[in-house]
Amino acid sequence: MNIESLKLIDRRYSIFVSLVEEVKADAQFTFSAKDNLVAKGFDATAGSMILKGYKPPFDATPVRKMREAGGFLLGKTNMDEFGFGSFSVNSAFGVPKNPFDLNRSCGGSSGGSACAAAIFDNHVSLGVSTGGSIACPASFCGVYGLTPSYGRVSRYGLIDYGNSLDKVGLLSFRVSDLKKFLPVISGVDKKDPTSAMQPDLKLGQKEVKSVAIPMEAVVEKNISKDVLKCFKNSVEMLESMSIDVEYVSMPTLKYSIPAYYVIASSEASTNLARYCGMRYGQQEGDLTLKFDEYFTSFRSRYLGKEAKRRILLGTYARMAGYADKYYNKAIRVRESIIADYKKQFERFDAIVTPTMPFISPKFDDISTMSALDSYKVDFLTVPPNITGMPHLSVPCGYSEKMPIGLLFTSAHWNEDVLIDIAEKWDLAFDVKHADVVI
């Protein structure tokens, strides 16, 4: 692949926010990184106009490790602004288009990363998940998406959305890439205290023998008929692999969406306070204004609609007098959800659900969704994210020629379970390539 063909593909699919100037012909492999992971030689915008022109002087730890492993960074992939979205339509730099249908979403917020993984050969993408931002686009674009345990991969160099939720992971068309590069990006990093305490990553030592299906996650009224049919076929495939499948009750799952959006928005509003027009990115405000007026005018101009909504929601939830009612209660709910998962992992190796409740929607349909409607679509991916547990989306079928994903979640630090099921699934299921048009 040369730079001309790369640019042609990017113009058609809007994969990247910034691209390399020349493609290295003798690279061992190519990779891309979501635009909230900083990298020398590239702007780091996190999909926001407020950071346009910010050129970091260092690599995020996962980017550095991929480069040291022989990888060549093609570019920074498009995403929802600061990770706020499920469809990658909230970027200030265009909207990535699904490689299976240009009129449909790639998913979000790592939409560009999933698109790159689906299109390019010998390529792996770095994505970031807060509430499902790796699994969702992996499902919509028909690739494998692995989100490791919280703390398994260093967050140093990540432009944060939610500090207690953000996780760096991998997207690829090939399972072998997940197994190869998870050890590359994993490990303790003294620059990131959240990665300081973790057991060693050991792959190939655990075999999946049993999985649980939460009844609360597969209610027919919440999932489209084509996804539900595909899920039932997938369960039969698992049983044909001599894997025991059992339905269980996990009543706390219904509280995961409200708890997640309180926690995530609260942390986001704190993180975005630094973007005030004086330290990062754009600094073109009217300096004759008083500081409150300056910050307000600057942030009103450069932040997108969804970013403003989450700042307001998060600031309200953590205000004095409201923190106990919302934020602190959400933290206790998260603890209950973790306990519910741990109870199931005493008996089962993994938990399985559909990844998303429907196939990738068309942009016209997304435009009619309310904010609440768009938040609700993450009800299957939010639970493992709010608990910090590793999870994997695998392609499991197709409807209207669009991919459908299957989501496996394992206990903390048990990524080896997910790699085992991914390898088994890859042998049994024929994953389809998108027909790339230049």
Q: Which residues are catalytic?
A: 34, 109, 133
Q: How many CB atoms lie within 10 A of CB 308?
A: 14
73 SS3 class: strand
Q: How far apart are CA 355 and CA 140, in angstroms?
A: 9
Q: How far apart are CA 131 and CA 264, in angstroms?
A: 8
**SS in 3 state form for 123-181?**
EEEEEEECCCCCHHHHHHHCCEEEECCCCCECCCCECCCCCCCCEEEEEECCHHHHHHH
At position 232, the amino acid (one-letter code) is K
Q: How far apart are CA 35 and CA 118, in angstroms?
A: 18
- DSSP one-letter code for 251: G
Which tokens in the block code for residue 90?
A: 């909230």
Q: What burial letters (b/e) apply to 116-142, b meaning 16+ CB within 10 Å?
A: bbbbbeebbbbbbbbbbbbbbbbbbbb
178 alpha-carbon distance from chain centroid: 15
Sequence-ordered alpha helix ranges (H) in 31-187: 61-68, 111-119, 135-141, 175-185
Q: Is the Cβ–Cβ distance between 151 and 388 less than 8 Å?
A: yes
Q: How far apart are CA 393 and CA 39, in angstroms?
A: 26
Which tokens in the block code for residue 401?
A: 């020629």
